[in-house]
């Protein structure tokens, strides 16, 4: 009898499970259908990127973006929208940079952007011979003897053979983040890096760098990948080739800014929180479309979709437009600080900050094995929409500070092939975003949030 009983139980259980799956798949389909047929994310992205544009923390545009975000979320039907005060670094590029390669009497102008956080060059710029290296080890081996008074040129490309381009970016990122410090240690007077991009073109890609304490500060800029190829070739032909660059940036006093937070109040467990967000700031030179206007627009769309379809979450869902991801993460840190201070239990936080491309899946961080398996169990619901990858890893810079509070961190993972063509460069524009790809991402995020709220972690 025991066997028979458990057989029937199994039958009943799987019938129930499969009914739940069917009901869920209906809701998931509604989320996709609504987004793809009359979603608002694309229009919101258009407003943010083309009407406001570049919005580095501390800038007037960043303040406009805060106001815009608050208005849109209120109009989209949030139960409550509020701002969180946060002081942010305030770095300004100043007048446009100048740079050229000097070979004998010939000057070849190349596109350069100061790295965020860099100091300016002296007013009339700096010019010196160039030492090209691939990595810090090579630089240290050359030492002061070869590098003193020179400009160091870090030219290690992103590894084209990495299928996930974020891995290739990770493998090249030390040049931008710490190249100035390493070069300074061997007596260099300036640093230029090959832009962190896997595309050969004329757009320099900026990004943040930090000065270490105890080493002299030297200016650092990025040249386009084409310029890097040209400079490398020129150096091979003529090792005495010099480089000139002039940047006019400065770091001002920290400035007041805000995270924007919008809530849908939970119907059963209003004191448990779910965060869905992206970052509102962007580099100054870009429209900040894929980085991270798309994450902002998708997060807002999650709220709109829940309201439109009348989905009442059990837990309180917070759409968070974080400030200052690009050069300080002060918004993310502040959000987690306040969460702790206010004793807010955050179940999970999901960030979209990998571009508005066709969704591939989600990366899960900080989940117990049973929770991870439970989330993987939703794979079949996502398969009809082309998402196949629910894997360990992921998260996001802005939500990262919630990790130590036991919050499960989830990174939205779209296809990564095109991201570093645009990342931190002036071609990161609205018109590089495909409406359907953006919308599929919004619906995917909304669907996962729906499932994780419904069934818990």
Site residues for a copy of itself per CB under 8 A: 32-33, 36-37, 160-161, 163, 165, 198-199, 358, 360, 384-386, 388, 415, 417-418, 421, 434-437, 440
Place of tokens 């998931």: 28
Tokens read off for 52: 């406001």
Q: Of the two residues 73 and 381, which places its CB atom closer to a copy of itself in the complex?
A: 381
Which of Zn ion, a copy of itself, none does residue 353 bind to, with CB < 5 to 8 Å depending on kind?
Zn ion
Q: How far apart are CA 427 and CA 273, in angstroms?
A: 36
Which of Zn ion, a copy of itself, none does residue 291 bind to, with CB < 5 to 8 Å depending on kind?
Zn ion
Q: How far apart are CA 250 and CA 248, in angstroms?
A: 7
Q: Of the two residues 198 and 259, which places its CB atom closer to a copy of itself in the complex?
A: 198
**Least distance in angstroms from the C-beta of 436 to a copy of itself:** 4
* 325 is annotated as an active-site residue: yes
Q: How far apart are CA 454 and CA 117, in angstroms?
A: 43
For residue 108, the surrounding DSSP H or E stretch is: strand 106-109
**Least distance in angstroms from the C-beta of 413 to a copy of itself:** 11
Which of a copy of itself, Zn ion, none does residue 272 bind to, with CB < 5 to 8 Å depending on kind?
none
**Least distance in angstroms from the C-beta of 108 to a copy of itself:** 24
Helix (H/G/I), strand (E/B), else coil: 262: strand
Contact 307, 322 (CB under 8 A): no
DSSP 330-366: HHHHHHHHHHHHTT-EEEEEEE--S-SSPEEEEEEES
- Closest among 199, 208, 132 to 174, alpha carbons compared: 208
Q: How far apart are CA 192 and CA 175, in angstroms?
A: 9
For residue 69, the surrounding DSSP H or E stretch is: helix 60-75
**Least distance in angstroms from the C-beta of 282 to a copy of itself:** 22
Tokens read off for 190: 């300036």
Q: Of the two residues 155 and 354, which places its CB atom closer to Zn ion in the complex?
A: 354
Catalytic residue (one of 272, 301, 325, 439)? 325
Q: Of the two residues 232 and 251, which places its CB atom closer to a copy of itself in the complex?
A: 232
Question: Contact positions toward Zn ion, by CB under 5 A?
Answer: 291-292, 353
Which of a copy of itself, Zn ion, none does residue 36 bind to, with CB < 5 to 8 Å depending on kind?
a copy of itself
**Geometric angle at alpha carbon 123, from 117 and 125, rounded to 5°:** 80
Q: How far apart are CA 6 and CA 4, in angstroms?
A: 5
Q: Of the two residues 326 and 421, which places its CB atom closer to a copy of itself in the complex?
A: 421
**Least distance in angstroms from the C-beta of 383 to a copy of itself:** 8
3-state SS of 142-204 is HHHHHHCCCEEEECCCCCCCCCCHHHHHHHHCHHHHHHHHHHHHCCCCEEEEECCCCCCCCCC
Which of a copy of itself, Zn ion, none does residue 1 bind to, with CB < 5 to 8 Å depending on kind?
none
Which of a copy of itself, Zn ion, none does residue 360 bind to, with CB < 5 to 8 Å depending on kind?
a copy of itself
Give bridge partners of residue 183 from the DSSP assignment. none
Helix (H/G/I), strand (E/B), else coil: 213: coil
Q: Of the two residues 178 and 324, which places its CB atom closer to Zn ion in the complex?
A: 324
**Least distance in angstroms from the C-beta of 389 to a copy of itself:** 8
**Sequence-distant (≥ 6) Cβ neighbours of residue 287 within 8 angstroms:** 49, 50, 53, 54, 293, 428, 429, 430
Which of a copy of itself, Zn ion, none does residue 388 bind to, with CB < 5 to 8 Å depending on kind?
a copy of itself
**Least distance in angstroms from the C-beta of 32 to a copy of itself:** 7
- Closest among 108, 102, 148, 103 to 127, alpha carbons compared: 102
Q: Are strands 242-246 and 98-103 parallel, antiparallel or unpaired?
A: antiparallel
Helix (H/G/I), strand (E/B), else coil: 448: helix
**Least distance in angstroms from the C-beta of 94 to a copy of itself:** 32
Contact 85, 338 (CB under 8 A): no
Q: Of the two residues 45 and 183, which places its CB atom closer to a copy of itself in the complex?
A: 45
Which of Zn ion, a copy of itself, none does residue 83 bind to, with CB < 5 to 8 Å depending on kind?
none
Which of Zn ion, a copy of itself, none does residue 292 bind to, with CB < 5 to 8 Å depending on kind?
Zn ion
Q: How far apart are CA 199 and CA 229, in angstroms?
A: 12
Q: Of the two residues 158 and 220, which places its CB atom closer to a copy of itself in the complex?
A: 158
Q: Of the two residues 94 and 386, which places its CB atom closer to a copy of itself in the complex?
A: 386
**Least distance in angstroms from the C-beta of 415 to a copy of itself:** 5
Residues belonging to the active site:
325
């Amino acid at each position: 009898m025991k066997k028979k009983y458990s057989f029937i139980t199994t039958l009943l259980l799987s019938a129930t499970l499969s009914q739940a799956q069917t009901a869920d798949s209906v809701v998931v389909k509604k989320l996709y259908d609504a987004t793809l047929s009359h979603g608002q994310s694309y229009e919101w992205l258009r407003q943010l990127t083309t009407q406001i544009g570049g919005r580095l923390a501390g800038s007037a545009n960043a303040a406009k973006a805060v106001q815009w975000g608050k208005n849109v979320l209120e109009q989209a039907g949030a139960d409550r929208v509020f701002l969180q005060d946060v002081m942010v670094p305030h770095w300004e590029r100043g007048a446009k940079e100048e740079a050229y390669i000097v070979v004998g009497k010939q000057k070849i102008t190349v596109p350069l952007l100061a790295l965020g956080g860099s100091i300016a060059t002296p007013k009339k710029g700096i010019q010196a011979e160039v030492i090209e290296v691939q990595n810090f080890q090579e630089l240290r081996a050359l030492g002061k003897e070869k590098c003193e008074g020179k400009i160091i040129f870090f030219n290690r490309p992103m590894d084209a053979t990495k299928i996930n381009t974020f891995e290739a970016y990770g493998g090249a990122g030390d040049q931008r983040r710490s190249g100035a410090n390493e070069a300074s240690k061997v007596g260099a007077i300036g640093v230029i890096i090959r832009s962190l991009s896997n595309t050969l073109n004329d757009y320099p890609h900026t990004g943040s760098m930090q000065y270490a304490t105890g080493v002299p500060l030297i200016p650092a800029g990025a040249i386009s990948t084409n310029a890097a190829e040209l400079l490398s070739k020129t150096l091979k032909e003529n090792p005495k080739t010099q480089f000139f660059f002039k940047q006019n940036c400065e770091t001002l006093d920290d400035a007041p800014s805000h995270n924007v937070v919008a809530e849908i109040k939970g119907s059963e467990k209003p004191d448990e929180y779910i965060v869905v967000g992206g970052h509102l700031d962007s580099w100054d030179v870009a429209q900040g479309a894929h980085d991270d206007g798309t994450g902002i627009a998708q997060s807002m769309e999650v709220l709109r979709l829940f309201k439109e379809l009348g989905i009442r979450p059990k837990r309180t869902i917070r759409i968070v437009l974080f400030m200052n991801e690009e050069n300080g993460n002060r918004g993310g840190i502040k959000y987690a600080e306040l969460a702790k201070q206010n004793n807010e239990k955050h179940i999970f936080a999901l960030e979209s900050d990998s571009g508005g491309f066709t969704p591939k899946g989600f990366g899960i961080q900080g989940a117990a094995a049973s929770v991870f398996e439970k989330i993987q169990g939703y794979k079949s619901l996502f398969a009809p929409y082309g998402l196949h990858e629910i894997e360990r890893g992921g998260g996001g810079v802005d939500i990262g500070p919630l990790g130590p509070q036991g919050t499960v961190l989830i990174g939205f993972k779209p296809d990564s092939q095109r991201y570093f063509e645009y990342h931190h460069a002036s071609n990161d524009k609205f018109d590089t975003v495909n409406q359907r790809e953006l919308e599929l991402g919004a619906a995917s995020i909304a669907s996962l949030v729906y499932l994780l709220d419904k069934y818990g972690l």
